[in-house]
Amino acid sequence: LLSLKLENKTKGKLQKQICQVVLDHFEKQYTKELGDTWTSVRDVLTYPLCWQYAVLLNKFSQSAELEDTLRAKGYHPALQGPLPYLPASLTCYIRRTPERFPAQKHQAGKLKEYYLLNAASLLPVLALEVKDGEDVLDLCAAPGGKSVAILQCAYPGQFHCNEYDDLRSRWLKQTIESFIPDPLINLIMVSNLDGRQIGDLKPELYDKVLVDAPCSNDRSWLFSSDIQQATLRLIQRKELSSLQFQLLRSAIKALRPGGSLVYSTCTLSKAENSNVINLILNSCSNVMPVDISEMAKAVSQEFTFLSGMQQHELLVLPEKGRAWGPMYVAKLKKM
């Protein structure tokens, strides 16, 4: 009887964490958009105990012991296979069974050896294909994981990391200080400008732009502890696609002709993903879609993708044993 009581208490705790208002909203929308697939995705999103975490190694603070420890714990490299773009210096470890590797604390003057992240976060970086000497803009950069990953891949000519929100901007600065050594840190410009204005302020200045847009973050929204905040978020959700469109327009202005742009979100929502990209393609005659299906094919061992997407986009669906995502990625080129 006692074990049954304890079990129910644990179930209750898990149940209590889930915000019913958000779940009901998602049920309605995603059943319509994803059909039967939503059931298995929902099972992962609402059960944090099956979430997985990837370990991105920091090439500026290398430790052979760390790799040995990870392998001994059953981790393996996440990115293998014939990827169109995979710098040898980008090393990330994952394992099939969920376990959270201990996070490292921020220590002034000491670089961290690794960054914990959702492995799907590396796909926008791989799609961007940054090369040494290119000028790069990370338009909505906080908390900084993708910026750190870009710097594992290449040494940009200039690297501009922007974050509009003050608090998140401080978080971004701390992340960069924790992972990037002194001489290189001087090449990074951190700003907190309104991303919608950067295109006008810095026209045709960058070879590559990453727009990891503010979105309805499906994972965290499901666990909103404040019902009022959750309800407000769901009301404001309708306005997000307009903001995302404006950020993309700005990013296109900031791109040099011939340069490319990657757009990403961590939501399953079609309104914030394919619809925004379609609107851009229909309204901007100077951009064209870029095929990223080869990249998706090369990592399909580790990630599950929604079928029926266009060749210039992909959507990572969380499933048990591959609990990465949601992550939407699309690539465009400026003519």
Asked whether residue 119 is marked as a ligand-binding residue, the answer is no
The total domain count for the chain is: 1
Q: Is residue 185 part of a domain?
A: yes
Q: Where are the alpha helices (DSSP H) in 77-189?
A: 122-128, 145-153, 166-179, 182-185
Q: List strands edge to edge, sheet with 114-117.
A: 76-77, 92-94, 54-57, 114-117
Which residues span the domain enclosing 86? 20-334
What is the end-to-end Cα distance of the chain in Å, rounded? Answer: 69
Establish if 132 belongs to a structural domain.
Answer: yes
Assigned domain for 297 exists: yes
310 domain residue, yes or no? yes
DSSP state of 158: S
Continuous segment of H or E residues that includes residue 6: helix 2-17
Domain containing residue 201: CATH number: 3.40.50.150
Residues with a catalytic annotation lie at 266
Residue 12 lies in a domain: no
**Residue 7 domain-assigned?**
no
Q: In 3-state terms, what secondary structure has residue 190? A: strand
For 315, the enclosing helix (H) or strand (E) is strand 313-316
pTM as predicted: 0.94
- Is residue 212 a known part of a binding site? yes
pLDDT tens series, the chain, 335 aa:
544 444 444 444 444 589 999 999 999 999 999 999 999 999 999 999 999 999 999 999 988 899 999 999 999 999 987 999 999 999 999 999 998 899 998 888 899 999 999 999 999 999 999 999 999 999 999 999 999 999 999 999 999 999 999 999 999 999 999 999 998 998 899 999 999 999 999 999 999 999 999 999 999 999 999 999 999 999 999 999 999 999 999 999 999 999 999 999 999 999 999 999 999 999 999 999 999 999 999 999 999 999 999 999 999 999 999 999 999 999 999 99
Q: Is residue 92 part of a domain?
A: yes
Sign of the Cα torsion 266, 270, 271, 275 reads positive
Is 181 flagged in the annotation as binding? no
141 carries a ligand binding annotation = yes
Taking the C-alpha atoms of residue 222 and residue 149, their distance in angstroms, rounded to an integer, is 27
Question: Is there a domain that residue 29 lies in?
Answer: yes
Which element (helix H / strand E) includes 288? strand 287-289
